[in-house]
Chain A
Amino acid sequence: MLLVTCPVCHIVGDETDFHAGGQAHVARPATTDPSNITDEQQRDYLFMRHNPRGLHFERWRCDRGCGKWFHAARDTLTMEFREFYLITDLPSAELQKQAKGPWADYFTARAKTKK
């Protein structure tokens, strides 16, 4: 039974008070440019998920509490939560550096658009 902390209302509770929302930081192509999406892009967005041993970025909702969605970074091996952060935020610079796979790409892309 995981112990989850909501970064919005700061409750610390059993995972049954929360709702797990799967992989985080998956961009929805249709939001940015609905008319130019290839079948492959749409397929990747819908179905392709990363399942690493180690650092995993994911979405949760404070389902039985304040109702807000948020992000978490969790180690899938030890089950340790490394960070909880707001749904509109990115993880700390340190975790962004440790990120691999699609998250590394996503964080790099976000950093570029900021500049």
Chain B
Amino acid sequence: MIEAKYESALANRSEPSNASILIREMNGRGMIDVRGAAADRKFLAAMKSVLGFDLPKVPRSSATWGDVRALWLSTDQWLITCNGTKADELSAALVAALGGLHSLVVNVSDMRAVIRLEGEGVRETVMKGTSIDLTDGDYPPGTVRRMRFAEIAALLHIVEDNVIEIYVFRSYADYVWEFLLKAARKGSEVRLFGNRG
């Protein structure tokens, strides 16, 4: 019997040494893509029965309970994150609870790489690669936003004021990692408005 060997997208990358913020891969995160209509009460109730909390319905928001989190992706799409070891079990539970309801649940834990940025200046660092402005007051902790980042599609989650997680498709992880190392290079910091550091 052969044993499965796990290797995340950025497994062979070492800690960056010349960055003004912390940059690291969050490997082993469970991710489940859920499709269902936000207007479908039965769907919402079935989701709640498994998750223990309501799916967020406000665009670009998220909800958290314990180590399970639901990120709003669209009016009929959410990304549920959890501990990677629980993803199969949780998605099976969701499928079972949703039964014959019109929905689609897919365990996509391997589809994306998650890169976590921490520290003073994370928002400005991300703004070097995207046209959105994370300092204009529209992005409190908990905000989720899909966007174009450094030429590719990415999903942004503001975890705390100075903590941002970027979800990118696995194949682009290396590219985004390199971009972030360059953008966060010491000496290239940008401090906007009152935040002059």
Q: Tell whether any CB of A sits under 8 Å from a CB of B in the complex.
A: yes
A: which residues have CB within 8 A of B? 1, 8-11, 13-14, 16-17, 64-68
Chain B interface mostly = strand
Query: Nearest Cβ in chain A — how far from B60, in angstroms?
Result: 7
B171 partner residues in chain A, CB cutoff 8 A = none
Which segment, of B45-53, B71-79, B93-101, B118-126, faces chain A?
B71-79
Are B148 and A64 neighbours in the complex by a CB distance under 8 Å?
yes
Task: Say yes or no: is B104 at the interface (Cβ < 8 Å to chain A).
Answer: no
Q: Beyond the given A9-B59, A64-B153, A67-B73, could you list 14 further A-B residue pairs with CB under 8 A, ordered by the A residue number?
A: A8-B59, A9-B60, A9-B74, A11-B60, A13-B147, A14-B131, A16-B131, A16-B148, A17-B147, A64-B146, A65-B146, A65-B147, A66-B77, A68-B74
Task: Say yes or no: is B92 at the interface (Cβ < 8 Å to chain A).
Answer: no
Select which of B75, B131, B132, B147 is within 8 A of A8 by beta carbon.
B75
CB-based nearest A residue for B148: A64
Query: Nearest Cβ in chain B — how far from A56, in angstroms?
Result: 24
A114 to B132, CA, bound (A): 41
Select which of B59, B74, B77, B148 is within 8 A of A17 by beta carbon.
B148
Number of interface residues of B (CB under 8 A): 13
Query: Nearest Cβ in chain A — how far from B33, in angstroms?
Result: 12
Query: Nearest Cβ in chain B — how far from A15, in angstroms?
Result: 9
A9 to B77, CA, bound (A): 12
Are B59 and A66 neighbours in the complex by a CB distance under 8 Å?
yes
Are A13 and B131 neighbours in the complex by a CB distance under 8 Å?
yes
